[in-house]
Amino acid sequence: MYHAQPAPMDKQDVRQRFGIGGGLRRRAENAAARTARDGAAEPAVLQAPELSAPTAELDGLLRTRRVPRPSVSARRPQRSTGPSAKEASEVASLIDSIAGARSDPIQAVRALTRLRGLICSTTKPCTQALIDAGGLPVLVERLRESSPVMQFEAAWVFTNIASGSSAQASAMVSAGAVEAVLDVLASPAVAERPELCDQCLCALANVAGDEDLRLRDWVLLEAGAVGHLGRLYEQVPGFAWSFHSRMQVLRSLTWLMSALCRGQPAPPLEEVDCAFDYFAQVLLGADDVEMLAEAVWGLCYLVEGGLDDRAACTRAARLLSAGLAGEQLPLPPAQHPLLVKLVQCARVAGERTNPLAVPALRLLGTLLSTSADAVGGMVVAAGALSVLTDVALDPFAPLQVRCEAAWSLSNVAAGAQAQHLLDSTRPVAALCDILESDAPQGLRSECAWALANVVRCGRPLPRHVDHKRLLRLIDVALSAGLEAALEPVLLEAAQALVNCGGELLCEARACGLLERLQGREAPHGLPEPKPCPHDDGANRENRPPQNAKLGKDRVGGLQLGSVNHCVPLQLAKLNRNA
C-alpha cells in the first residue's frame, strides 16, 4: 500500500501556541488545519491476488484503491476525460449481460470481468458511465450471489467506484453496496476465499476514507461496521488461509479501522473506543511495516480527535491504558511498552521509503503537546529525547519530520519534563547547532522556539549549556525574522539571560540586543522577568500558577496510577484475544 507523505508545514499549518509553565507549549494543529490537508491520495496500483477460473486470465489487470493518507493537496488527482461514446455503449451492454446472470452465468462473469477492466483504467475510467447506465443496483444484486467468483468481481468493481469522487462513492452507498459488502463478510464464502474478504475490506476502506465524512459515518454508525469487523476478526484464526493471505487481510482490516477513526469532526469516541486496543495489539504484536504504519496513523487520529486539551488528555490516557484492563500502568522510571515501540518506529526517519517515522513522530509530538505532565513523563521515560534529537539532526530525514522532532523538543522544554532535557547534553547542543547552521527556515524556527523555552522554563541552566552562545543565537534568530509570534518569546528569553548581569550583559550590549530589550514593553502589562537562569530561586514570574496545571498523576481527570476504566473488547467489536 502506498502512503503519501503528509504535506510540509507552512504558515497556515502553524500549530496553536498557548502558555504553559515558563515556556510555551504548542498543541497539535487544530482540526480544520489538518482536515484541509488530509485529502485523498493518489490511487495506488496493486497486484491482483490469485484468482480461480474463470477470472485467472485477468490477473494482469490493474486494481486500484485510494489510500486515505494526508497528501499535499486536498483535491483529488485530475484524470483525463471520461470514456468515449463507444465505451459508454459497451458499458451499457456489459451491464445488460451482467443483469442476465441467472440465464447465462458464464457470460455474466465474463462481462463483469470486462467491466472491472474498464473501471480499473487509470486513463479513462468509466465509473460515471456505469452509474448513469443504472449499473449499481445490478452490481449489488451480483454481490449477493452465492458464487464467490461473482462476488469477488463485483466487490472489486465497487472498490474502484469508491476510489472515485465523493458523489460516485455516495451513489454506491445509496445503492446498498455497503450493506451487501458487510453481508459477504458475514457469509461462509470468506472462509474459503481470503481474496474475497480482502477485497470487501478494501471497498469499505475506500468509502470510509472518502473526504466526505458523511460516508465514514454511514459505514460506522448506520451500517454498524465495527460489529461486523469484530465478528470477522474472531473467526480469522480458524480459517485455513495461508500466511500471506492472512497478513493481507489483516493489513486491509487495519487500514479500514484507521479510516473509520480519521477525519474532523472525529467520530464519536464510544463508537471507535475499541480501536485503541486493536491498534495497540497490532503495534505490540506485529512486525509488518505496512500494518504498523496504519495502526500508528489510527492512534494519531484517535488522540487528535479531542476538541480541546482536556479531551486530548483523556484520549492520551485511554491510549496508554490500551490492552491493560485491570493491570497496573507502568509509571516512570518504568517504560511503557507501547511508547517504547513508538520510539523505535520513529528511529527510521532517515529511511525515506519507510512509512513508520511520520505517524510515529506525529503521535509522540501530539502526546507531548498535551498539558498532562504524567503523559509527557512516560514519553520521555520511553527514550523519546534521544530519538527526537537524532531525527532533528538527521540530514537524510524529510524536512517535515525534522521540524516535527524539533517542535516536540520545544514542548518538552515547556513542560514538567524540561529538567530531563537540560540534564542531557545532546538536545540543547543539537538545537544550537541547527539554529547556527544554514538549515531551512522552518526547522530553524522550531529550534528557536525550543531554545527560548529552555531559557524560560524556570529551571537552572546546567553548566554544560553555553549561556553566551544562547544569547548570540537568540540575536541571530531575531535578526533572521523567522516568525512574528516568535519575536516576543525570544526577547523574553534574552531578558532572562541579560538579567544575570556580568558577561552576559556585556555580550548583549555588543550584539545590539540591549537596545532591543530597552525598547520592549512587558507583555500584558506584566513586570519584566527577573530570573537568573542558573539560580534555583529565580524566574518565579514566569512559572505557572498552581491552578494552571493538572495534578501530577492525573490526565484530564483520569487517574493514571491504576487503570481500571479500560473495558475489554466485546465480541460485538474487536476481540483482542481472538
Q: What is the pLDDT of residue 36?
A: 33
Domain boundary among 388, 416, 444: 416
What global pTM score does this model have? Answer: 0.78
Residue 340 lies in a domain: yes
Which amino acid is residue 131, in one-letter code? I
Half-sphere exposure of 309 (CA within 13 A, CB side): 19
| 241 plus 156 within the same structural domain | yes
Dist CA 472 CA 243 (whole Å): 59
| 276 plus 382 within the same structural domain | yes
| 120 plus 163 within the same structural domain | yes
Residue 445 lies in a domain: no
Residue 405 lies in a domain: yes
| 389 plus 361 within the same structural domain | yes
Which cell is 439 given?
Answer: 538549515
Per-residue pLDDT tens for 462-475?
Answer: 888 888 898 889 98
Domain boundary among 260, 277, 302: 260
Residues of the chain with pLDDT under 50: 1-22, 29-80, 522-578
| 193 plus 341 within the same structural domain | no
Nearest in space to 159 (alpha carbons), one of 178, 142, 144:
178
Residue 61 lies in a domain: no
| 158 plus 297 within the same structural domain | no
Residue 11 lies in a domain: no
- Give, in order, the Cα–Cα distances in Å from 433 to each of 252, 318, 467: 43, 37, 14
| 222 plus 305 within the same structural domain | no
Half-sphere exposure of 27 (CA within 13 A, CB side): 23
- Give, in order, the Cα–Cα distances in Å from 165 to each of 120, 186, 218, 379: 14, 28, 17, 40
Strands (E), 285-364: none
- Give, in order, the Cα–Cα distances in Å from 290 to each of 39, 283, 294, 295, 353: 20, 11, 6, 9, 11
Which amino acid is residue 39, in one-letter code? G
Which residue is it, cell 487509470? 122
State the burial class of residue 242 (Cβ atoms within 10 Å of its Cβ: 0-12, 13-18, 19+).
Answer: exposed
Q: What is the pLDDT of residue 48?
A: 32
Per-residue pLDDT tens for 9-53?
Answer: 332 222 332 223 345 555 554 433 333 333 333 333 333 333 333
Helices (H), 122-273: 127-132, 135-143, 148-162, 166-174, 177-185, 189-192, 194-208, 213-217, 225-235, 243-261, 269-272
| 256 plus 267 within the same structural domain | no
Q: What is the pLDDT of residue 52?
A: 36
| 256 plus 346 within the same structural domain | no
Residue 343 lies in a domain: yes
Q: What is the CATH number of the domain that holds 125?
A: 1.25.10.10
Q: What is the pLDDT of residue 87?
A: 78
Sorted by sequence, the CB contacts under 8 Å of residue 3 that are 6+ apart come out as 41, 67, 69, 293, 355, 358
| 235 plus 302 within the same structural domain | no
State the burial class of residue 61 (Cβ atoms within 10 Å of its Cβ: 0-12, 13-18, 19+).
Answer: middle
Which cell is 15 given?
Answer: 500549530
Q: What is the pLDDT of residue 501?
A: 65
Residue 53 lies in a domain: no
| 215 plus 310 within the same structural domain | no
Residue by residue, what is the 3-state secondary structure of 136-156?
HHHHHHHHCCCCHHHHHHHHH
Dist CA 392 CA 322 (whole Å): 29
Which residue is it, cell 514519553? 379
Domain boundary among 416, 445, 464: 416
511-517 contacts at long range (C-beta below 8 A, 24 or more positions apart): 511/471, 511/472, 511/475, 512/475, 513/471, 513/474, 513/475, 513/478, 516/478, 516/491, 517/491
Domain residues for the domain of 256 are 83-260
| 119 plus 207 within the same structural domain | yes
Identify the bridge partners of residue 24 per DSSP, sorted by sequence position: 19
Residue 385, classed as helix, strand or coil, is: helix
Contact 229, 256 (CB under 8 A): yes
Phi, psi of 205 (to 5 degrees): -65, -35
Residue 75 lies in a domain: no
Tell me how far apart the 2 most distant CA atoms of the chain are, in Å.
97
- Strands 558-559 and 554-555, sheet pairing: antiparallel
Per the structure, how many domains does the chain have?
2
Q: What is the pLDDT of residue 520?
A: 60
Nearest in space to 353 (alpha carbons), one of 390, 389, 388, 398:
398
Q: What is the pLDDT of residue 16?
A: 32
Dist CA 451 CA 197 (whole Å): 52
Q: What is the pLDDT of residue 61?
A: 26
Which cell is 297 given?
Answer: 496513523
The answer to whether the bond into 333 is cis (omega within 30° of 0) is yes
Which cell is 335 given?
Answer: 517504560
